[in-house]
Structure 1
Amino acid sequence: MAAAVHRPVESASGRECAGLARNLFGNVRLDFGPAEEQKSRMTSAMLGACRLTQLAADRHVVFGEHATAGPGDPDAIKLLVQTEGKASLAQGGLHTPVSADALVIYDHSRPYILTNSTPVRQLLLQLPRHVLPHADVERLTRPFIAHAGHDGMCRILLSLMESTIREIDHLDEARRSSVGQTMINLVCTMIGAGPRLVKTVANPLDLLLQRIKNFIDSELARPDLSVAMIARRMGCSVRYVYRAFEVECLTPSDYIWDLRLQKAAARLHDAGGYAGEISGIAFSLGFSSSAHFSRVFRHRYGVSPSQWRKTRLP
């Protein structure tokens, strides 16, 4: 089955907004009144490793108690700019007021509730966790807050986000990626990363590749493990996942199947030879059937799994 590919720009209005929000942000729940939901409008686009979203909506509450409950949910840090309206973010035992022109950075893997008590207009930037210095991410047990009226970097970032969302349909992929990297650097500077650390994350593909490999290794038993799932978990586009693997001269799918076969060969080497063990190894590594496993194993190693095992039994 072909992997799903995210469209460059996604949009929704009315009742469709809640579904798009869950698709983009993970296991979140938006609680609207019946009339308020119809007034919602959402536009979202990938900017290389980042995702920028604009939301205009009436009063509502966002429940993020289990925003990253599954392996396919984005592993990202959220940045919220409230350009109109009032809201309050509850996280880590702290209730933080969010007002116009305020910027809030928070770790959405930690439970939170965002209460929008008035009609709001918001810009949300998702940054994959790996692009920010680990020490800064660890400090986000509570939200980081900045105000455009007092912080020059905040004003620059706010202006860039607003102009980008206005011009998003006129930017090609390379320009979007460049703008996204600029936003990453601005956020790193704002939350305290020194010049050396900002330089380290300027080209995040190596870090992304390692995080993808770790994720694949932990989820290898899932038959539905796909490039689309990886991209969603990493909080980036499918195309960006492919870019991370360019240095490997493999596609992400080829890497997954190659790793499965390597692990299968190693486990067969240590197998005890009892009935059903080969099938058990196949299913534990995400193969959908014993026949499929035998076919691809023979293609890779030139012998069947049972022959491979027998040649290595004492």
Structure 2
Amino acid sequence: MRFAADHRHVETARGREFAGLARTLFGNVRLDFGGADEEKSAMLSAMLGACRLTRLEADRHVVFGERAAAAPDDPDAIKLILQTEGSASITQGGLHAPVSINALVIYDPCRPYVLTNSTPVRQLLLQLPRQALPQAAVERLAAPFTAHAEHDGMCRILLSLMESTIYEIGHLDAARRSSVGQTMIDLVRTMIGEGPAGQVVNPLDLLLSRIKDFITRNIDRPDLTVAMIARRMGCSVRYIYRAFEAERLTPAGYIWDLRLQRAATKLREADGHSGEISGIAFALGFSSSAHFSRAFRARYAVSPSQWRKAALS
């Protein structure tokens, strides 16, 4: 089934519908719940441009990817699993790899595999187009590739991005979904050996892009602090500061400068009387009109009211 209105891009299934949607979205799979309770299963899935991100939870079960090549109607995608709860393992190419919490496992579903979920599980699954990866990287996926967040900064960023995106999926427009999907592709390419156009991607650059996007979308929130941003990005406060170092900025400095830019835009559209100017200041997180006036004058060399008058002249 699908959500209505602005959730049309999201697909969901529960219970007995779970296995059917899994075959539709993932292609060459067969699910065996054995004596487990299939009714406990739930899935939510959405397209992110060329990628698909899926959240699923289910009782213990086994997934068989039995065909060595995809059928004509199957999605031609590389898969990535993030385990958030439970215990699982994947066997492919003669190798056995655990699917552990806070680790990513990347594999080629066109090669036969068995994914054993030995306990009830919660997982995030990312599918990205095969052609989005270098051929050499795809060839290396004859066996599963594993990365751990505690050892790999790139993995930690991708893990956080997947979790935050699925949380916000109902509120993202098509352009934002596509942008997030491309960022995920870039991260995966870099993790398995090659960034976009053969370039090495700096994980801090990708993190900074995510931070700036998050700040832009939440600039009106009075609780927009570095600590809150770090929680949403899934990293430490120190890592947030490191992301801004290359631009010789602090996170707080970036936030306040963006708020002043937003205020300048709003003032051009305002009547300019003191009440409305104060309203703009408080709406953008300034503690007082005096605080706003001092910061605005330091940034633009004129007062907010003078700025408004100049815009009208």
TM-score by length of 1: 0.60
In the alignment, which residue of structure 1 is the partner of 2:174? Answer: 173
In the alignment, which residue of structure 2 is the partner of 1:158? Answer: 159
Of structures 1 and 2, the one with the larger relative CO (CA 8 A, separation 6+) is 1
Cα distance between partner residues in 2 of 1:116 and 1:36: 13
Give the conservation status (yes or no) of the 8 Å contact 2:158–2:184: yes
Superposition pairs of residues 139-154 of structure 1, within 5 angstroms = 139-154=140-155
Residues 1:13 and 2:18 are matched in the alignment: no
Report Cα offsets for 1:104-123 as digits up to 9, x if no partner: 00000000000000111100
Cα distance between partner residues in 2 of 1:101 and 1:137: 23
In the alignment, which residue of structure 1 is the partner of 2:127? Answer: 126
Give the gaps of 5 or more residues in structure 1: 1-5, 200-314
Q: Report the CA distance between 1:149 and its aligned residue.
A: 1.3
In the alignment, which residue of structure 2 is the partner of 1:189? Answer: 190
Give the conservation status (yes or no) of the 8 Å contact 1:103–1:146: yes
Residues 1:60 and 2:61 are matched in the alignment: yes
In the alignment, which residue of structure 2 is the partner of 1:101? Answer: 102
Cα distance between partner residues in 2 of 1:61 and 1:198: 38
Quick one: which amino acid aligns to residue 174 of structure 2? E
Quick one: which amino acid aligns to residue 155 of structure 1? R
Superposition pairs of residues 33-44 of structure 1, within 5 angstroms = 33=34, 35-44=36-45
Q: Report the CA distance between 1:35 and its aligned residue.
A: 4.6
Give the conservation status (yes or no) of the 8 Å contact 2:70–2:76: no
Give the conservation status (yes or no) of the 8 Å contact 1:26–1:68: no
Q: Percent identity?
A: 77
Cα distance between partner residues in 2 of 1:79 and 1:38: 25
Cα distance change on mapping 1:85 and 1:172 into 2, 3 Å = same
Cα distance between partner residues in 1 of 2:34 and 2:15: 12
Residues 1:77 and 2:78 are matched in the alignment: yes
Report Cα offsets for 1:147-166 as digits up to 9, x if no partner: 11111111110110001001
In the alignment, which residue of structure 2 is the partner of 1:110? Answer: 111
Give the conservation status (yes or no) of the 8 Å contact 1:68–1:75: no
Aligned length: 195
Give the conservation status (yes or no) of the 8 Å contact 1:68–1:74: no
Q: Report the CA distance between 1:197 and its aligned residue.
A: 2.0
Report Cα offsets for 1:174-221 as digits up to 9, x if no partner: 11000000000111111110454259xxxxxxxxxxxxxxxxxxxxxx
Query: What's the Cα RMSD here?
Result: 1.9
Cα distance change on mapping 1:38 and 1:156 into 2, 3 Å = same
Give the gaps of 5 or more residues in structure 2: 1-6, 201-313
Report Cα offsets for 1:89-110 as digits up to 9, x if no partner: 0100111111111100000000
Q: Report the CA distance between 1:27 and its aligned residue.
A: 2.2
Cα distance change on mapping 1:198 and 1:26 into 2, 3 Å = farther
Q: Structure 1 residue runs of 4+, over 3 Å off?
A: none
Report Cα offsets for 1:7-53 as digits up to 9, x if no partner: 51100011101000000000211111355211111000000000000
Cα distance change on mapping 1:161 and 1:100 into 2, 3 Å = same
3-state SS of paired residue (1:71): coil
In the alignment, which residue of structure 2 is the partner of 1:30? Answer: 31
Residues 1:47 and 2:45 are matched in the alignment: no
3-state SS of paired residue (1:109): coil
Cα distance between partner residues in 1 of 2:196 and 2:164: 26
3-state SS of paired residue (2:182): helix
Cα distance between partner residues in 1 of 2:32 and 2:197: 43
Give the conservation status (yes or no) of the 8 Å contact 1:44–1:53: yes
Cα distance between partner residues in 1 of 2:196 and 2:62: 38
Cα distance between partner residues in 2 of 1:11 and 1:177: 20
In the alignment, which residue of structure 1 is the partner of 2:257? Answer: none
